[in-house]
Structure formats: C-alpha cells, structure tokens
Amino acid sequence: MKSKIVLAFLLLTSCLLCGCGGTDNSYYIDKTVDMRVREITLEGTNELEMLDKARSAVVGISVDLGNGYAIGSGVALKNGNYILTNNHVVEDGGNIILYYADKSIGSGKLLWRDAGLDLAILKSSKEIPYLKIGSSKALQVGESVYAFGTPLTLQFKHTVTKGIVSALNRTLEVESTGGSNFLQSLVQHDASINPGNSGGPLINSKGEVVGINTLKASEGEGLGFANPIEIGSVILDRIIENNSYKTPYLGVFGFDSEIAQIYGEALNQDGVYVVDALGPAKTAGLVKGDVITSLGGIQIKSMQDLRTGLFNFNAGDRIIIEYSRNGQNYSKEISLTQK
C-alpha cells in the first residue's frame, strides 16, 4: 500500500471542462418512475424489480467549478431530503445540481463534509424516495452487490453494475489536498465503477445500502472500493436531529490492530493502534503504541468502531477513553474539540 500504488486509486469524480456534459439532456419528466417519498420496500421482489425501485433513490450530481463541472453521484437515506455522497465530489465547487431518476432536476445544499472520511451530506430541494441502510459488517466475501452511479457523464446517470464482494476491511493510502490520508474499513468489490460513480451507493441483494463508492484502481480491473455505510449513517442521524453537525475532534491517527500488524507492530488484542496523538488525545496523555479499546463506554475493535463511536458525541463533550500500554490498562477523561 505504498503511495505510488494508491495514487492510481484516487478520485472517481468526472471533471468536465467548459460545461461539456454539465447540463442534462432530458426534456420531460418520466412519470413512470415512482417518486413517492417513502423508504423503498424491496422485500419479496426479484432482482430486476429491486434494481428498478432502488434507482429512484439515486441522484446524479454536477458541481460548478467555474471553468467546468465535477460529475458525481449520491443516494437518499433516512429522509427524502438528505443525500449522502463523497466529499471530493463537492469540496471545490459552488452551485450543486441534482438529477433525479424521473429526469427532473433540483438543487443541493451542502450541510456537512469531511475530507478525511471523504463523505459529504447534501439537502435536496426535492423530497425523493430513500433506501434502507444495511450493514457492511454483515457482508460476506462472494455475495452479490450492485453499484449505482453516473459514470463519465450525466448522459449515463443511474447506471447500475453488478459484482461480488471481493474483500473486507481494506485500508488504502490516498493523496488528498492536505497530503496523504488513509481510508480504512473499505469494502472491496468488482462491480464496474468509473469516474462519476463517486458518492453512489453500493447495495446488497436486499436493496440495502452497505457502502458509498469512493475509489477504483485505474491500473487494474475489478478493483473498486466503498466506504462502509455505518459512518455516514450515524452522522446523518445527528444532522436530522440538530439540522447541522460540528464534527468532534479526538486527535488520534491510528490503524486497526490487524493493519498495525502489517506495519510491523505485534499486537495481541483488538483495538485501534495509535500511530500519532494530537490535540485532545495528546493532552489526555496518549502516545504512539497505545491501543484504544473503549470510547465513552463504546467498545472499540477497529477504526470503523472508533469513528462511528466518536460521532455519537459532540464537540465539547467530556468522555472516558480506555486504552492499553505495555500490557497495562488505563482510562482517562478526554475533552473533545471541534474539527
């Protein structure tokens, strides 16, 4: 997972200069698409029916870059107004246009984004059907998954491809605006995805969203990666509850214990291995080599657990963090700041 290799994975956003492909070619509303606002129920449907219903919760996204457009994808979850997508689809842009399955057009308002997680949440000007959230942890290698998105151009919006789960809990180092960043707990699959698929959902055979497609290998075939849905789900809960969300900051850069072993650390327990402690974590006394096992009473076995656990709290909260150091167990109170 050296930097030179993972550079080939970065950014599934399709960038189009001078507006080419930045406008939609639809001229009418397709009234055959059921756009009633509801959680889409897919129990008892066959594969074709499931995919036909699921696409009504998917949107194409174009973001004005000034000298062109970024093209991506998104999916409505939990409420017909909220769209989950990738941060890199929207981070450098202005006006956000959403393209719905019935060929109507609306706008998106950016509510929250996080470059480290490569996730963002938009509020849609139009309420649309939304998909049920599944569990990435329940996935099994070899099971079927489906990727929805807008590959290459808006002309191909609401494209669906089929594949299988190839591996779980992948970690990749990618280059971002602020330098290198590690995306962890990724779902690897071989459903075909291309630039423009960024932010689109990865769904299971029940039509549940299990991930958000983020990366692909440009130098190989059938190597796609999706962020686990659990992280975006818990943040969406907070935004629906409070109409906004200020991301809490712990200050821990670390790896799952399994990944830490790959990097030469011999660990005999589950948890998050601390590579560097900054801000609140440093103030609380954490150092490189500590293994975090609990956060605010939430058991931590992986980086995904740490991130989803952290987002159950707010900036300013004081919580207890438990960790081990050289075989000894410790607990400290830590005050979360705002990211």
At 334 the three-state DSSP class reads strand
- CA 329, CA 104: separation in Å to the nearest integer? 57
Strands 58-64 and 68-76, bridge-based pairing: antiparallel
Q: Which of 14-25 are b and which e, b meaning 16 or more Cβ less than 10 Å from the residue's Cβ?
A: bbbeeeebbebe
Which region holds residue 279: left if phi is over 0, alpha if psi is between -120 and 50, else beta?
Answer: left
161 beta partners: 147
Name which of 268, 182, 178, 270 is nearest 225 in CA terms.
182
- CA 89, CA 52: separation in Å to the nearest integer? 25
Q: Is 46 exposed, middle or buried (0-12, 13-18, 19+ CB in 10 A)?
A: exposed
- CA 106, CA 97: separation in Å to the nearest integer? 6
At 155 the three-state DSSP class reads helix
Tokens 């076995």 identify what position? 301
User: Which positions are annotated as active-site residues?
Assistant: 88, 118, 198
Residue type, 273: Y
